[in-house]
Amino acid sequence: MTKIEYLSQVYKLQLKIDKKKIRAEEYERLSMSIPGPNYDQPVVDKTRSLEAPFVKWIGKLIDIQKEIDELEKKLDILKAEVIGVIETLENEDYKNVLALRYISCLTWGEICDKLYISLSTVKRWHQSAIESIEIG
């Protein structure tokens, strides 16, 4: 695994959590709705389900919330490891760029705005920081 792949695991995990949260919001919305009868479609099965239609969405919401909680715990551990790696650097500017990029998951433009430096400087500092990190 390369240095950048190791550091970018935080970003990828954060994206995965964000996507699951979007799905959880949809499940929550569906669990709050009570659909009416649908007379447009033909009856397939004459056996009527006695379970409320929103029950399945509540179950899915509970399951995805458990997944999100587990991923957030994993993310916290991974962020602590990445912070440990970033703190091995001597240069404070390099530390800031890596922390903003891999811990806060900011874009290059957002990092430029936050540090008041140009894009070329941010990318140069990032490259220098990655080259100076020793992952054992």
Domain boundaries, the chain: 3-35+52-132
Does the pTM surpass 0.95? The reply is no
- What φ, ψ does residue 15 adopt, rounded to 5°? -60, -40
Alpha helices (runs of H) in the chain, residue ranges in sequence order: 3-31, 55-86, 92-98, 108-115, 119-132
Average model confidence (pLDDT) across the chain: 86
Question: Per-residue pLDDT tens for 78-128?
Answer: 999 899 889 999 999 999 999 999 999 899 999 999 999 999 999 999 999
